[in-house]
Structure 1
């Protein structure tokens, strides 16, 4: 130990020692950095980094040695043998390469330490070979114990250096490993130099293949520093690039693992080179080794377990062929009750990228949307769109012996139930009707809800007319059976129109139109029944449509006029009032009777406008008559559903200036059938205004007497059907006697309609009837004839 310290302090130039140490530190830093780069690389790239590391490390050891030798002053001149000097460099590089290869290629600590020890052995091999190259006029002897210590120091510190470097690639471990490797080289060198014993011998000559120590040291140091600097810069740039790549890899890995889709990349041979966990989980391949495996082998394994349907070879061959031809393909496969969409996108240079998306919920949502678009939301029956499609299919399937029938159904009085009991009850009723319809039709028949309370059925079968007739009869019976809904017992009916293919039409639109015409006929015939389409229904419907168009135009052109028929007091034989009757003065068809257009006006809702027109005109005309003459105006049941009825009556009276007591409003029993409570409220409001209320067509309904009890009518009008049979039927006389007697006892005026003869008038007078009205006195006439009708005592009827 004393010899080593003596050599270091008295035989070395400290300035050059510091330079050698600096070169050694730089070389060690580059070596450790290159060691990390080599461990991070694979294949050929790793071999390149190990080679560069060995060159840098060997040159650093070699340069450190010769710079330190330049600092060594043994007291005699000398030179270096060039071949042996080069041999020492080769030893330094080759032995270091072996040690680095072992340490880089293994993750086990033992092999890393062994590799480091070999690197330390390389330091010793280089040093003692370099010392052998020294030619001086003296004999060189060695202190054996010191030599052993120098070798052990190099091996131990070099092994520790690579052990620390292999643990982690960060700054603290890199600095520690660099210091240990520097210590391994420096400790070995100066310990070994302390083992040198020089004995001067002038007989030893320097060979011709030698170079002076100063020249050798500066040349090798300069070259080594240049190589080390280049390597260190390369390592730092590579580290920075690797760091950036690492950060990008982290971002890429994060993106891949957070994708909602699965992703897998295949090379040209179908071998997996990249995938994310979503892919493995979606296809349930998480427990498989996937990287580097050929897809075909995986498919074969799954087919053997029953997890793959189809031929794996054929499927794989198609994928490879599509990728080779540059075709992008999209498939939907079923995997473990899930639907997965697979998009295969070819890559340049071969191979393809496959993305996997679980579309099970999306397909279910699409199916639900499609179902909703083609089915009624309330009853879940096919709607008009799907019904039309199924009707088309039925027509295509129907042959000469397999015909088809279309049944259009409309619920009778459904709107009244909906208005009186509320929409929730109405909806529940529609659902129950749909259920009954489905339970009644045949297995291959189609039931649809076309909208509102309209339903339709497509029936396919033999002997079509008989089958359709039987089905329609069953449907009328089933739908008309009572319903129990939320403690309400409901009874409704159904009207059905039927068209047959091919005789009534060969396309859906024509069949539906004709079935609808037959339905209209069923309604006109009293509802609660069915009718088949007949030739001529279309013509009648066309006439009805034309009449409706004319009716709307007539309102715009002011073609309606109020006519008046006198009502006479039987006892005094004088006119006490006039009944306003609407007439349509058509520019081409002349006067049109109310019986021809009033029902249509009620169906279309135009009766509200017509009623208001008559009310305003009647009040305006009556205001010009004597104060003791009243005017009677009929109100339709549809007008009573209009919430503006009270306002309309008030406005007509105010604008005309007519006293309310002179206005008489005539209603029929059907008005009271609608919604008796609301109707009675309206009637009481009108009565409170002073308007008189008359019950028209008394005796033709079912509950006339109960209505007289529920509301104090001012007048009851005896229907003309009883008056016309006074002279021929005694029961008609009895009915009129009963009505007039009822009127006297209740203080209600009785008016007989349709009086056409003196005999009828005499009988009415005898039975105590209060008033009479009919052709015996006058036909309805325009307002301009009212004065004449008041002046003349009686106008004989002209039938």
Structure 2
């Protein structure tokens, strides 16, 4: 792996250089420090950086203004928000950065410790090493005609991430994560193709490819247990979707109950008659329905309580660094209590270390998904 190029922006020179020293002690990185947003923008215009650590409270150009300017300049690497201004403000800026086109977003509340830095750098290295997914691959250009051709020629493949039972430690299901096997750029994550597929009306086609790949892997004996697949409200709301899905399973002699369809919380609120018909028929045939990214949408709890969900997945933004954030713990405990009242299992996404795993196990979470228990990979 090539050296990771890291930029640190902090008007406190002592803290900036202490962070530089910490990163350098962890691994072989190219690390530079600057002490203002303006200086950083000038440097970024001349150099390529994979990861930027940015303080929020700086004179002239504060961190939020800098990050907004970074997005306007179409920076596609990763950012780590660093501040002593409190977890509430940091969370807001974290949400802002997730709305930008950065490929990696994390946040740290000062004072920072070595374990936190090491965890972030490990996540970045895993992203890079896992299928050669480079978080700052620049110059990638895929035309609409090419992406349609790649879709038709079987270049979209399935990666699978295990979901592990907290109590038994056994893999109980796997989530499918779509990847593009590009002849020039290598393995690409959804960051590089999902919006283009959406703008060309090809998300239904991607879902069909993913489900066909999953059925093939199941018939080859590669899949044990259940399989979770992401689906959009538009796809699951299509007239006749349930019938087509069930027919595809039966024609391949696969029981539909091995599948769990993951629907984003925000989409779950936008129900139509065809959506309700499809989701009802899917449940009659024992297809699982999971509410994904719980806590990030705008759904009404009353509406969610009336839909036949069989699983709840708490978004990783609440799991990351929850041990040091009391606000995140409040949301986590609320979601856990809600899942118990609704009598459905709850999945913790984004579990990256043993301490977080142990905390979630102790308070009663059912299933773990994250790099701590297994990173996404192809099935042999």
- Matched-pair contact (CA < 8 Å) for 1:723–1:755: yes
Distance in 2 between the 1:726 and 1:621 partners? 36
In the other structure, the counterpart of 2:48 is none
In the other structure, the counterpart of 1:685 is 281
Pairs aligned (count): 245
Q: How does 1:202-281 map to 2 (within 5 A)?
A: none
Distance in 1 between the 2:260 and 2:149 partners? 29
Residue deviations 1:516-537 (CA, integer Å, cap 9, x gap): xxxxxxxx989xxxxxxxxxxx
Residue deviations 1:197-217 (CA, integer Å, cap 9, x gap): xxxxxxxxxxxxxxxxxxxxx
Distance in 1 between the 2:349 and 2:275 partners? 25
Judging changes above 3 Å, is the alpha-carbon distance between structure 1 residues 613 and 626 closer, same or farther for their aligned structure 2 residues? Answer: closer
In the other structure, the counterpart of 1:550 is 146
Which of the numbers 315, 326, 330 marks the counterpart of 1:719?
315
Residue deviations 1:19-69 (CA, integer Å, cap 9, x gap): xxxxxxxxxxxxxxxxxxxxxxxxxxxxxxxxxxxxxxxxxxxxxxxxxxx
Which of the numbers 775, 782, 799 marks the counterpart of 2:378?
782
In the other structure, the counterpart of 1:633 is 229
Which of the numbers 675, 700, 707 marks the counterpart of 2:296?
700
In the other structure, the counterpart of 1:668 is 264
- Matched-pair contact (CA < 8 Å) for 1:666–1:693: yes
In the other structure, the counterpart of 1:748 is 344
Distance in 1 between the 2:156 and 2:223 partners? 26
In the other structure, the counterpart of 1:581 is 177
- Matched-pair contact (CA < 8 Å) for 1:620–1:658: no
Distance in 1 between the 2:242 and 2:201 partners? 18
Partner SS for 1:674? coil
In the other structure, the counterpart of 2:363 is 767
Distance in 1 between the 2:316 and 2:177 partners? 16
Distance in 2 between the 1:638 and 1:617 partners? 21
- Matched-pair contact (CA < 8 Å) for 2:269–2:300: no
Distance in 2 between the 1:622 and 1:704 partners? 36
Distance in 2 between the 1:662 and 1:715 partners? 14
How many angstroms does 1:627 deviate by? 8.8
- Matched-pair contact (CA < 8 Å) for 2:240–2:278: no
Partner SS for 2:321? coil
Distance in 1 between the 2:156 and 2:364 partners? 37
Distance in 1 between the 2:243 and 2:221 partners? 24
Residue deviations 1:217-263 (CA, integer Å, cap 9, x gap): xxxxxxxxxxxxxxxxxxxxxxxxxxxxxxxxxxxxxxxxxxxxxxx
Distance in 1 between the 2:366 and 2:264 partners? 20
In the other structure, the counterpart of 2:195 is 599
- Matched-pair contact (CA < 8 Å) for 1:565–1:780: yes
Distance in 2 between the 1:659 and 1:776 partners? 30
Judging changes above 3 Å, is the alpha-carbon distance between structure 1 residues 634 and 774 closer, same or farther for their aligned structure 2 residues? Answer: same
Residue deviations 1:152-177 (CA, integer Å, cap 9, x gap): xxxxxxxxxxxxxxxxxxxxxxxxxx
Distance in 1 between the 2:270 and 2:201 partners? 16
Q: How does 1:87-486 map to 2 (within 5 A)?
A: none
Which of the numbers 326, 338, 359 marks the counterpart of 1:730?
326
How many angstroms does 1:594 deviate by? 0.7
- Matched-pair contact (CA < 8 Å) for 1:612–1:648: no
Distance in 2 between the 1:578 and 1:525 partners? 28
- Matched-pair contact (CA < 8 Å) for 2:242–2:279: no
Partner SS for 1:667? strand
Judging changes above 3 Å, is the alpha-carbon distance between structure 1 residues 745 and 623 closer, same or farther for their aligned structure 2 residues? Answer: farther
Distance in 2 between the 1:709 and 1:747 partners? 11
Q: TM-score, normalised by structure 2?
A: 0.60
Residue deviations 1:250-300 (CA, integer Å, cap 9, x gap): xxxxxxxxxxxxxxxxxxxxxxxxxxxxxxxxxxxxxxxxxxxxxxxxxxx
- Matched-pair contact (CA < 8 Å) for 2:239–2:274: no
How many angstroms does 1:641 deviate by? 4.2
Regions of 4+ moved over 3 Å: 543-547, 623-628, 673-678
How many angstroms does 1:628 deviate by? 6.3
In the other structure, the counterpart of 1:28 is none
- Matched-pair contact (CA < 8 Å) for 1:720–1:753: yes
Distance in 1 between the 2:362 and 2:300 partners? 24
Distance in 1 between the 2:148 and 2:202 partners? 8
How many angstroms does 1:633 deviate by? 0.8
Judging changes above 3 Å, is the alpha-carbon distance between structure 1 residues 704 and 599 closer, same or farther for their aligned structure 2 residues? Answer: farther
- Matched-pair contact (CA < 8 Å) for 2:140–2:185: no
How many angstroms does 1:643 deviate by? 2.5
- Matched-pair contact (CA < 8 Å) for 2:346–2:367: yes
Distance in 2 between the 1:711 and 1:623 partners? 31
